């Protein structure tokens, strides 16, 4: 077994994809590549018919390399990119892109399907308030639609992303109302309505958004030919992946592991301090890898105060400080449901810096 690896449950990926389709039956799913771009994830999602929300030209080319069709299966959903990136995206066949500013709209003369991106107001509980970066309010949105008209550029739809967590259904309903109002006021034939990502794999159950789904169906009935789109990241991949790293040595309260916290678990889990570790015996893990069956990782309360230290030498490389159960060299430290915004934070440069081997991906059922 490798010193550090993740197990990827393909059946869980499929289940999440299907649950989403069941809740929003007419919505086309554009998986948000930035959430986890592991090749195994993108390949499998392509195979089961998923489309992709790409945030950069490199993500676009990457998705295409797995056989996805640029014209019908990619949305370039980063409203702040360079002219060169937009031109390159058009050159490789991408038609759909979002904009939320005059500067971006002016760069999109050759883009076939521009979508205006609105900004939701409801972001009070969010760790990262994406509205600070992306989206526009309706007032500015109106000005941009006027500008598009003056440019003789057809805006074909409206997008919004509630951020994470997505928040209550009534806030999404408000956004849907605003989309309809703007479209009606501007005589805009809505061909695409994109309600973004932010759905939670745990927490508020997806069934709680059945009302939103009904409303989307109603809007679709009122706008013949309208395509509804979702851009889930976390909902699809978070619970499909567990991370394991071997304990190399234990010195009193210091537990040294093979993996690196800053390379493998940078953003969400470390910064939001939501990293929960468990200890798994190597034999148990070996069985799982062999049988391709997932381990039901148990989080044990209590234990002694420990500090789990990553091997990169970077001073931030600390997985955890707190209580941890009995742990010995050769055991594995496990992090359950670690699929979202983890692998995407790895970078080749950091690998070179620490000289560490990237972790292995083991596909399981």
Ligand X SMILES: Cc1ncc(COP(=O)(O)O)c(C=O)c1O
- Give the whole-angstrom CA distance, residue 25 versus residue 13: 17
Binding residue for ligand X, selected from 178, 231, 268, 317, defined by CB under 6 A: 231
Q: Give min distance, CB of 311 to ligand X, in A.
A: 28
235 sits near ligand X (criterion: CB under 6 A): yes
Question: Closer CB to ligand X, residue 53 or residue 317?
Answer: 53
Binding residue for ligand X, selected from 17, 44, 52, 164, defined by CB under 6 A: 164
In this chain, which stretch among 228-236, 241-249, 256-264, 294-302 interacts with ligand X, using CB under 6 A? 228-236
Q: Give min distance, CB of 206 to ligand X, in A.
A: 12
32 sits near ligand X (criterion: CB under 6 A): yes
In this chain, which stretch among 60-68, 227-235, 283-291, 304-312 interacts with ligand X, using CB under 6 A? 227-235
17 sits near ligand X (criterion: CB under 6 A): no
Binding residue for ligand X, selected from 3, 141, 233, 259, defined by CB under 6 A: 233
Question: Closer CB to ligand X, residue 180 or residue 194?
Answer: 194
Question: Closer CB to ligand X, residue 32 or residue 312?
Answer: 32
Q: Give min distance, CB of 33 to ligand X, in A.
A: 9
Binding residue for ligand X, selected from 234, 246, 266, 306, defined by CB under 6 A: 234
> Which tokens belong to 338?
């670690």
196 sits near ligand X (criterion: CB under 6 A): yes
37 sits near ligand X (criterion: CB under 6 A): no
Binding mask 58-97 for ligand X (x = CB under 6 A): -------------------x--------------------
Q: Give min distance, CB of 221 to ligand X, in A.
A: 25
232 sits near ligand X (criterion: CB under 6 A): yes
Tell me: cis bond preceding 165? Omega within 30 of 0 counts.
yes
For ligand X, the binding residues (CB under 6 A) are: 32, 35, 53, 77, 130, 161, 164, 196-199, 231-235
């Amino acid at each position: 077994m490798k010193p550090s690896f993740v197990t990827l449950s393909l059946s869980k990926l499929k289940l999440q994809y299907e649950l989403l389709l069941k809740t929003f039956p007419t919505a086309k799913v554009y998986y948000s590549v930035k959430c986890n771009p592991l090749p195994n994830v993108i390949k499998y999602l392509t195979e089961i018919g998923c489309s992709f929300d790409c945030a950069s030209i490199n993500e676009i080319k990457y998705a295409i390399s797995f056989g996805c069709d640029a014209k019908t299966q990619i949305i370039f959903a980063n409203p702040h990119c360079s002219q060169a990136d937009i031109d390159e995206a058009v050159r490789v066949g991408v038609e759909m892109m979002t904009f939320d500013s005059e500067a971006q709209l002016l760069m999109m003369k050759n883009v076939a399907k521009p979508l205006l991106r609105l900004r939701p107001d409801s972001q009070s509980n969010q760790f990262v308030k994406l509205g600070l970066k992306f989206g526009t309010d309706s007032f500015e949105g109106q000005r941009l639609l006027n500008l598009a008209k003056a440019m003789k550029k057809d805006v074909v739809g409206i997008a919004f992303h509630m951020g994470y967590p997505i928040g209550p259904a009534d806030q999404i309903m408000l956004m849907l109302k605003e989309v309809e109002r703007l479209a009606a006021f501007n005589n805009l034939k809505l061909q695409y309505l994109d309600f973004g990502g932010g759905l939670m794999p745990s927490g508020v159950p997806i069934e709680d958004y059945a009302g939103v789904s009904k409303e989307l169906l109603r809007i679709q009935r009122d706008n013949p030919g309208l395509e509804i789109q979702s851009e889930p990241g976390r909902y699809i991949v978070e619970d499909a992946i567990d991370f394991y790293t071997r304990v190399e040595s234990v010195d009193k309260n210091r537990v040294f592991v093979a993996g690196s916290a800053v390379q493998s678990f940078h953003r969400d889990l470390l910064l939001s301090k939501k990293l929960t570790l468990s200890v798994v015996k190597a034999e148990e893990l070996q069985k799982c890898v062999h049988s391709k069956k997932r381990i039901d990782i148990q989080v044990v309360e209590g234990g002694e105060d420990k500090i789990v230290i990553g091997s990169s030498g970077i001073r931030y490389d600390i997985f955890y400080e707190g209580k941890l159960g009995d742990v010995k060299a050769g055991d594995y430290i496990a992090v359950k449901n670690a699929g979202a915004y983890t692998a995407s934070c790895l970078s080749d440069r950091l690998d070179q810096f620490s000289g560490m081997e990237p972790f292995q991906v083991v596909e399981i059922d």
